Each structure stands twice: as C-alpha cells, then as structure tokens.
C-alpha cells in the first residue's frame, strides 16, 4: 500500500527535484477507475499536474517532475529499516527499534570528534536546520557538512564577497523577461531546468539577445542567439578580457561605479593585462565575439539607464563554478556586471542558478560546516550566543567550524592508517556519495572502511547498499516542509498523502535518535520552522516573519522576511548592498590554470555534467522507467575529429583514464563539443561512473571540488566496438 488512497485532492505542492521548484497540483488517483478496474497494489495514490498559476513554470514541467508521483510507489523505494546482519554480512529487514537502537549505540560509543554527519540540498529547511542542531547539540560534533559544497558554493562565496549576501537570484525569475541582453555562463537550463527556458524565450521575443558560454554547443545554446565556446577552466580569463574591453571601449558605467561600488581600481588594473588577443589564445574565444558580447551587454544596460526598455543580465551555473578557481571566476563575472552597472537595476543583475530542490534554503540554516541558522557564522560570538539561547545550551558548548564536505570525506575511515582526526562513524541524510563525490574510487574505499555507516534515504542508493544501517524516509508528498527556490522564494509543500507505513520522516528519525541519546528535538515541521524563524531572526537570511500559515494562505514570500521586512524581499540591492559601507565590492581576481592541465600522458580535458532525464546520482531517476528509458546509460561525448584520430566509431566502448581511475562507456560523436575536450554525465555508478575520474582539488575559498575539468587519456576498448562491418 502507498498511503491512503484518495484521502485528498492533495492540492498545491512543488516538484521534488530541482531548484526551480515548479508548482504542481497533486490529484488523487481513485482506487478503482471509471471502468471499474482496480489500481495496481503499489501504484502511487496521487498523480502530478503542472500548476498553471504558479509564475515560475506556468504549468510546464520536465519529464522528471511529470513522473514524480512514481517515486512514491513501493516498488522502487525502501519500505523497512535494514541492518547489516553480523553473521551473513548482508542487509536484512529490521524493526525501527532495532535499527534506531543500533544507530544510537554506535554513535554514542565513539568520541564525538570521530562522528560525522553529511546532509543534502534536497532536505527541507526544517530538516536542514534540525540536522545542524542534531549534530552540534545531540552528537556534539563539529563534523557536519553537505552536498551543497559540490553545488553552488563558489557562487555563494563570491556573492558574499561582492554583495555581502548570497541569494541565487536577487530577483524573481520572471524579471528575465525584461532583460534585452543575457549572458548565460556554464549553464544548460534547457536540460537542467527546462521550464525556465520560457522566460528566456519571452525575452528573446521582445528583442533580447541570449548568449551562452559553454565548451559544448548545448540544447540551451541551440535556443540562443550566440554561443562562445571556451576551453574548460578558462572562464576567468574570458571575464577579465570582457572587463578589459569594457574599460578600453568606454563602456563602464562610471557613475554607478563611483556611487555604488568600491575597489574598482584594483580590478581594472588586473584586467589591463588581459587584452583581447591574449584572451583569445587562453580561451579559444575569438576577439570579435568578445567585442560583440561586451557591446551587447553594455547597450542593453545603457538603454535601461535612459528609461528605454532594456536591461542586461549575467547568469551562471555549475560550468563556471565547479573549478579550483570557481569563486574567483564568479567574482570576475560579478566584476563585469558591476562595471556595467547591473546589480540592483530593473531587468539587470548578476544571478546564479541554484541546483538542488532546496539548494538555497539548505545552505542557510546550519548544515554547512561553518554556519548557524539564518546564514550566521559559527565563529561569530554574537551568533553563537543568539542560537545557543534558542537551543538551550551554553554557547561555549557549541562546537566550532568543522571540515568541508570533501575534507570530511577525506578523513573518513582509513582503517589501521587512520590519522588522529579520523572519522569512524558517519550518518548520511540526502546524498549518494558513492556516485556523486569527486575521486569516487577513493571516496568509496574510505566509506567502506568506516567503523559505522548509517544512511537515511528514500531508496536503496549505492551508498545505502554499503551501509551498516539503512533508515527509510518519508517523501515530499507525505510530509510537510518548506523549500526555498532559486529566487529566494519560500514555498510550502504540505503533506498530501499518508506516508508508507514502513517509513518515518527525517524529523521523526532525528527526534527518535535524539531521545535515545539523552536529548530532545521536535518532529513537528511547523514547530521546527517556527524555531528556525527565531534562530534566523536578525541574520542575513531572516525567515522570522514567515510561517507555515502565511505560506498556506498563498502569500508570496522571499527572504529576508523579518521584523524590518515582513512582506519579504523579492528584489535585492535596489538601494544598497548589505556590506558595511553599503557598496558592492569589486574583488581583485586574476587568472590561474586548472589544478590539472593536459600533458603528454593525459592529453585531453574531461568535463562533466547532466542530461535531461537523469537527476544527480540517479538514485531516484534511474528507478523511474520512463526516465531510464530516455537516458539508460553513461556515454562519452567527443568530437568526430578526435574520434577519427583515435579510430573510434559511434557506440564503441571508450575507456577514459585519469590519475584517479578509469571509466568506460559508449562513445557518442558530436560536433557540438570542442575537439580537445570530452564530456561525461555523472549520473551512473559502475563502469560508467564519471567521478571515478574527477579531481578532488578544491577551491580555496568555497572548498568546491573541480568537477568540471581534469586531464584524461582515451583508449579504445579492443574487441567491443559493435557493427564493424
Ligand atoms: N536533468 C537534470 N537537471 C538538474 C540536475 C540533474 O542532475 N539533472 N541537477 C540539478 C542541480 S543540483 C544542479 S547544480 C543544476 C546544474 O545545472 P547546470 O549548471 O546547468 O548543469 P551542468 O550540466 O552541471 O553544467 C552546465 C554546463 O557547464 C558546461 N561546462 C563545463 N565546463 C565548463 C567551463 O569550464 N566553463 C563553462 N562556461 N561551462 C562549462 C557543461 O558543458 C554544461 O553544459 O541542475 C539541476 N537540474
Ligand atoms: N562529476 C560530477 N559530479 C558531481 C556534479 C557534476 O556536475 N559533475 N555535480 C555535483 C552537484 S552540483 C551535486 S548537487 C551533487 C549531488 O549529488 P548527490 O548528493 O548524490 O545528490 P542526489 O543524487 O540527489 O542524492 C540525494 C540522495 O538523497 C535521497 N533523498 C532525496 N530527498 C531526501 C530526503 O528528503 N530525505 C532523505 N533522507 N533522503 C533524500 C535521494 O534518494 C538520493 O539517494 O553531485 C555533485 N557531483
Ligand atoms: S524543472 Fe526542476 S522543478 Fe521543474 S519539473 Fe523539472 S525537475 Fe521539477
Ligand atoms: Mo547541484
């Protein structure tokens, strides 16, 4: 059984996948259809329809959202706790008491510093908040971080440096329609957020020029007016080159720079060294294309200043960020936006497209290693005092900042070679690390050598398969919670159906573990949200005036939404920036090469990313038939010229080898990719696992791994090429 059938026309909700958080309606599926046929035993009790009146998606959904109800089916999900049998070493079903007792025993048997927690950006605000409180006050460990480090942390760090705060888009998505020039950098929303394309299309219909920057001519590039195709890892030089041209051609908005920013001189001095011919050599982008790009942006910005329809936007995503210099790269794009006078002007600005469903809220309320709720800093004494009072603990008892995600994973396990700060027990809630972490071969070894691994998940993910205890969690439509989408809009997902009887909500799991560990936490989402509100009050991400009731009434609320701004803040930076002097900061950044550049042994660049029908580690989407049929396996995308040099034909198995591991998958020939670069999506485990290859080199500021470039060698796998005749 999958929840109570037909208990409600569930009403409004939001898609369980990406940060666009498309509005959906949940419609009860009757137990018996019009012709008297009974629904299959494990069929979901609801179906999904796009919500026409939700302004972000206007009824449109991608295939993942449209098929989301299938996730609720008992056929593909976990329906009972599992524990590893000491005798057979296999996972076997267990009662909740047995499983929770074992987790509590194992976690309390160790020094808190040997225990760690790994969260995720798909968790609701309530869960992300509670996970931080659970780690710091119940487990008393500093070791907590989450998969958002792999996601938008470079843009987050860069926005904090430049603007004094980080909210993915500082304006509603629909503002895109007002822009007349849009530079979309390292983003492929036609595959990663399809319904957002309608806003770009509307802008273009009104005369906007859409320019994409991507080493591949993607589906998004196909819907754009122009495409710049840089070498992976060279965006920083490109942005410096465009700033150079803006200065050289007199396109800088001098008044804006003087009134609203600081630090321009240093940024300009560095850009002086990036004359167009040099930048063309570094990036592969022709000088003429750079000229055209900067003039297009500046013209649209000038139009809006003179009151004509206009506006220029620079939007970025993971392509520009997932590098060992991702933060500096985003700052270089922001510097360009500031020089052109964009942030805070209507129809203008810089924004980052957040990735995971709650990628935004998930990085505001304390599951990050250095953070307390409300985007407060864990090393700020006033913040510690404020939050400790709400948690009823002594501020001195709160642990300090802990290791970032990749650093935390590097400290896991290790067996006899384990160092003094080794982590021996790990609780994972909302990530499938065996597929999605960089340098996955080494990550897998480390997780397998842990003394104790517990995974809370919806499905038996690859990471859950190697756990000692697996706790099955309730899902989106079965539990109430809030999500914050890429616009900073807080959304309520009310429980629409009863949870599967075998599962518990993540909040219940934390509360029941806390009880066993001598503490007390609420499992009621509205209560936890109200507490989150108090903890965030006065912080950068202030949610204190938001409540489940207001959201249920349909109020549109964007944070900050507190005492000073009870109606919420759809648009930021209109009058000033939240920095000490109210000005945005140019950050003086300079180009540097990637952590690993191609050489004689590993002569090509590998970049990685996504395809339309699979989501992330694929833990959920690989289990949905329609999605899996659309994208059944990994592949290596390469240019036909490179394929010819290697003697590889379409569909032949190609091995990709890096210093960290090997992956092999069928070759997919495409003229859309640079001939010096190959691309792999990262959604699959096993032989086609892209992360067996990727480089865990970290950005020094955001601690984001370099998923988007590493050096590889390519080998045709002998004898396996089909159709040779
Ligand atoms: N279908 C689908 N949708 C998703 C997801 C999913 O897994 N599947 N995941 C969600 C999440 S969590 C995220 S973070 C977003 C990510 O959304 P996107 O950032 O749009 O997705 P990616 O495919 O990771 O990367 C975007 C593009 O960056 C390009 N790229 C690679 N290297 C470089 C470079 O050096 N410079 C530039 N300029 N571009 C480069 C790649 O070719 C790719 O086309 O998608 C969200 N939506
Ligand atoms: N090579 C390469 N690697 C990458 C990237 C890349 O571009 N290239 N992108 C990176 C990025 S941007 C991201 S965001 C990560 C994502 O990678 P992961 O962190 O692995 O993300 P998911 O696959 O979404 O894993 C989430 C897991 O949590 C479960 N889950 C979902 N919702 C809940 C919930 O509410 N409660 C519980 N308990 N479990 C839940 C899902 O079933 C799934 O098993 O991958 C990163 N890895
Ligand atoms: S774009 Fe994102 S939020 Fe919208 S339906 Fe697709 S996965 Fe869901
Ligand atoms: Mo992400």
The model's pLDDT over 93-132, given as tens digits with 9 standing for 90+, comes to: 999 999 999 999 999 999 999 999 999 999 999 999 999 9
Is residue 426's pLDDT more than 90? yes
How do residues 499-547 score in pLDDT, each as one tens digit? Answer: 999 999 999 999 999 999 999 999 999 999 999 999 999 999 999 999 9
| Local confidence band at 414 (pLDDT 50, 70, 90 cut-offs) | confident
For 714, the enclosing helix (H) or strand (E) is strand 710-716
CA of 616 to the centre of ligand 4 (A): 8
Supply the pLDDT for residue 42: 76
- Close Cβ partners of 287 (under 8 Å, ≥ 6 residues apart): 276, 277, 279, 280
- Tens-digit pLDDT profile for residues 310-334: 899 999 999 999 999 999 999 999 9
Whose C-alpha lies nearest to ligand 2, atom 28? 430
Q: Is the pLDDT confidence value at 429 over 80? A: yes
Q: For residue range 61-90, list pLDDT tens digits in order.
A: 999 999 999 999 999 999 999 999 999 999
If you measure from the C-alpha of residue 200 to the centroid of ligand 1, how many angstroms do you get, rounded to a whole number?
Answer: 17
C-alpha to C-alpha distances, 486 to 353, 416, 559, nearest whole angstrom: 6, 44, 12
Could you tell me the pLDDT band of residue 415, with boundaries at 50, 70 and 90? confident
Expressed in angstroms and rounded, the spacing between residue 147 Cα and the centre of ligand 2 is 7
In a mutational test of the pocket of ligand 1, which residue from 66, 68, 186 has the highest number of ligand atoms less than 8 Å from its CB?
A: 186
Atom of ligand 3 at shortest distance to CA of 66?
A: 5
Among protein residues, the one with the nearest Cα to ligand 3's atom 2 is 18
B/e letters for 154-189, b = 16+ CB within 10 Å, e = fewer, are bbbbbbbbbbbbbbbbbbbbebbbbbbbbbbbbbbb
Q: Ligand 2 mean position to 622 CA, how many Å?
A: 13
Distance (Å, rounded) from C-alpha 346 to C-alpha 399? 43
To 10 degrees, the CA torsion angle through 284, 289, 156, 609?
A: -50
CA 426 / ligand 2 centre spacing (Å): 17
Which residues have their alpha-adjacent CB atom under 5 A from ion ligand 4?
Answer: 151, 355
pLDDT at 10: 62
DSSP state of 302: H
Give the number of whichever ligand sits closest to the CA of residue 353.
1
Of the candidates 332, 340, 419, 40, the one whose C-alpha atom is nearest the C-alpha of residue 180 is: 340
From the number of C-beta atoms within 10 Å of its C-beta (0-12, 13-18, 19+), residue 571 rates as: middle
Question: Is any atom of ligand 2 closer than 6 Å to the C-beta of 480?
Answer: no
Residue 564: count other Cβ atoms within 10 Å of its Cβ. 10
On average, the pLDDT of the chain sits at 95
Write the CB contacts of 319 (distance below 8 Å, at least 6 apart in sequence): 185, 186, 187, 188, 213, 214, 215, 235, 607, 609, 708
**What is the SS3 assignment for 118?**
strand
- What pLDDT, on the 0 to 100 scale, is given for residue 2? 37
Could you tell me the pLDDT band of residue 551, with boundaries at 50, 70 and 90? very high
Q: What percent of the chain has pLDDT over 90?
A: 94
In this prediction, residue 417 carries a pLDDT of: 76
Of the pLDDT bands very low, low, confident and very high (cuts 50, 70, 90), residue 32 is confident
Name the DSSP class of 231: P
Ligand 3 atom with least separation from CA of 50: 5
Task: Work out the average pLDDT over 668-681.
Answer: 98
Q: What is the pLDDT of residue 37?
A: 84
From 193, 359, 612, 614, give the residue whose CB has the most ligand 3 atoms within 8 Å, as the site to mutate.
193
Instruction: Give yes or no for residue 372 having a pLDDT over 70.
Output: yes
Ordered DSSP codes for 669-683: E-TTB-TTEEEEE--
In this predicted structure, what is the pLDDT of residue 9? 58
Ligand 2 center to residue 148 CA distance, Å? 9
Tell me which of 18, 49, 168, 620 to substitute to probe ligand 3's pocket, judged by most ligand atoms within 8 Å of the beta carbon.
Answer: 18
Q: Residue 57 C-alpha to ligand 3 middle, in angstroms?
A: 9
pTM of this prediction exceeds 0.95: yes
For β-strands 144-146 and 115-119, DSSP reports them as parallel
Closest to 27 measured CA to CA, from 17, 13, 39, 16: 13
- Give the DSSP letter string of 378-400: TT-HHHHHHHHHHHTS-GGGS--
Residue 477 to residues 26, 434, 579, 618, Cα–Cα distance (Å): 8, 27, 39, 20
Ligand 1 centroid–CA 412 distance in Å is 28
C-alpha 300 – ligand 4 centre gap (Å): 31
Order of strands, edge to edge, in the sheet holding 46-50?
11-14, 23-28, 46-50
Residues with CB under 6 A from ligand 1: 18, 151, 185-189, 191-193, 213-216, 218, 230, 232-233, 235, 317-320, 355-356, 607, 609-610, 612, 614-616, 679, 708
Cα distances (angstroms) measured from residue 534 to each of 129, 216, 363, 401, 547: 12, 46, 17, 22, 11
CA atoms within 13 A on the CB side of 681: 22
Q: Which domains does the chain have, with CATH numbers?
A: 11-76 (3.30.200.210), 82-150+358-473+505-540 (3.40.50.740), 168-355 (3.40.228.10), 604-716 (2.40.40.20)
pLDDT at residue 45, as a whole number? 87
Candidate of 63, 65, 187, 198 to mutate for ligand 3, largest count of ligand atoms within 8 Å of Cβ: 65
Q: How many CB atoms lie within 10 A of CB 396?
A: 8
For residue 691, the ligand 2 atom closest to its alpha carbon is: 1
pLDDT of residue 585: 98
Beta carbon of 123 within 6 Å of any ligand 2 atom:
yes
In which band, very low, low, confident or very high, does the pLDDT at 663 lie, cut at 50, 70 and 90?
Answer: very high
Region 458-486 average pLDDT: 98
* Per-residue DSSP letter, 18: B
Helix boundaries (H) for 62-218: 63-66, 96-108, 125-133, 153-163, 189-192, 197-205
CB 45 within 8 A of CB 501: no
Using CA positions, which residue lies closest to atom 10 of ligand 1?
Answer: 355
Pocket test for ligand 2, best of 148, 432, 480 (most atoms within 8 A of CB): 432
What is the mean predicted confidence (pLDDT) over 430-445? 97
Nearest CA to ligand 3 atom 6: 62
Distance in angstroms (rounded) separating the CA atoms of residues 461 and 315: 33
Residue 354 has pLDDT above 60, yes or no: yes
pLDDT of residue 719: 52
């Amino acid at each position: 059984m999958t929840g109570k059938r037909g208990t409600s026309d569930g009403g409004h909700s939001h898609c369980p996948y990406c940060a666009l958080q498309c509005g959906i309606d949940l419609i009860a599926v009757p137990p018996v259809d019009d012709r008297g046929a009974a629904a299959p035993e494990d069929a979901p009790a609801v179906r999904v329809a796009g919500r026409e009146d939700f302004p972000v998606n206007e009824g449109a959904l991608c295939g993942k959202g449209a098929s989301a109800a299938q996730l609720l089916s008992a056929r593909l999900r976990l329906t009972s706790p599992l524990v590893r049998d000491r005798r057979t070493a296999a996972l076997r079903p267990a009662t909740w008491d047995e499983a929770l007792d074992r987790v509590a025993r194992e976690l309390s048997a160790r020094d808190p510093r040997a225990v760690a927690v790994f969260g995720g950006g798909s968790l609701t605000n309530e869960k992300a908040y509670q996970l931080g409180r659970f780690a710091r006050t119940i487990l008393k460990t500093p070791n907590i971080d989450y998969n958002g480090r792999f996601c938008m942390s470079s843009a987050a760090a860069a926005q904090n440096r430049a603007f004094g705060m980080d909210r993915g888009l500082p304006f509603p998505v629909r503002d895109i329609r007002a822009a007349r020039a849009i530079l979309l950098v390292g983003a492929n929303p036609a595959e990663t957020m399809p319904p957002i394309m309608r806003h770009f299309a509307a802008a273009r219909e009104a005369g906007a020029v859409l320019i994409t920057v991507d080493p591949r001519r993607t589906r998004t590039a196909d819907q754009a007016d122009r495409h710049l195709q840089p070498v992976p890892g060279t965006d920083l030089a490109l942005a410096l080159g465009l700033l150079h041209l803006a200065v050289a051609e007199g396109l800088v908005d001098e008044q804006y720079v003087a009134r609203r920013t600081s630090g321009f001189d240093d940024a300009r001095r560095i850009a002086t060294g990036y004359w167009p011919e040099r930048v063309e050599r570094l990036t592969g982008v022709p000088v003429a294309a750079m000229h055209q790009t900067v003039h297009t942006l500046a013209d649209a910005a000038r139009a809006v200043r003179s009151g004509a329809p206009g506006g220029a936007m620079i939007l970025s995503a993971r392509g520009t960020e997932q590098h060992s210099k991702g933060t500096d790269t985003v700052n270089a794009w922001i510097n360009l936006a500031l020089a052109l006078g964009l942030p805070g002007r209507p129809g203008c600005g810089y924004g980052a497209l957040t990735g995971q469903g709650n990628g935004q809220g998930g990085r505001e309320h304390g599951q990050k290693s250095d953070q307390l709720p409300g985007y407060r800093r864990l090393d700020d004494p006033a913040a510690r005092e404020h939050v400790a009072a709400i948690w009823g603990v002594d501020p001195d008892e709160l642990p300090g900042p802990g290791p970032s995600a990749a650093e935390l994973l590097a400290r896991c396990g290790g067996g006899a070679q384990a160092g003094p700060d080794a982590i021996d027990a790990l609780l994972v809630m909302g990530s499938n690390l065996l597929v999605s972490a960089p340098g996955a071969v080494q990550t897998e070894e480390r997780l397998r050598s842990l003394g104790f691994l517990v995974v809370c998940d919806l499905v038996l993910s690859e990471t859950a398969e190697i756990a000692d205890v697996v706790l099955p969690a309730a899902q989106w439509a079965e539990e109430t919670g809030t999500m914050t989408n890429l616009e900073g809009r807080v959304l309520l997902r009310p429980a629409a159906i009863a949870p599967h009887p075998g599962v518990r909500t993540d909040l219940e799991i934390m509360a029941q573990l806390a009880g066993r560990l001598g503490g007390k936490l609420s499992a009621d989402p509205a209560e936890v949200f109200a507490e989150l509100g108090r903890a965030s009050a006065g912080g950068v991400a202030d949610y204190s005036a938001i409540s489940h009731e207001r959201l249920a009434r349909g109020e549109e609320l964007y944070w900050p939404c507190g005492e000073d701004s009870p109606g919420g803040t759809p648009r930021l930076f209109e009058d000033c920036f939240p920095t000490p002097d109210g000005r945005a900061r140019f950050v003086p950044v300079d180009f540097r090469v990637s952590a690993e550049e191609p050489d004689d042994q590993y002569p090509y660049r590998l970049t990685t990313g996504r395809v339309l029908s699979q989501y992330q580690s694929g833990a959920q989407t690989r289990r949905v038939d329609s999605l899996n049929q659309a994208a059944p396996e990994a592949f290596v995308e390469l240019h036909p010229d490179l394929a010819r040099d290697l003697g590889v034909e379409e569909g032949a198995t190609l091995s990709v080898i890096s210093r960290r591991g090997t992956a092999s998958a069928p070759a997919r020939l495409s003229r859309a990719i640079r001939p010096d670069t190959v691309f792999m999506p990262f959604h699959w485990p096993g032989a086609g696992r892209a992360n067996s290859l990727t480089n865990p080199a970290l950005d020094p500021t955001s601690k984001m791994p370099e998923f988007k470039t590493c050096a590889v060698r390519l080998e045709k796998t002998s004898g396996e090429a089909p159709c040779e005749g």
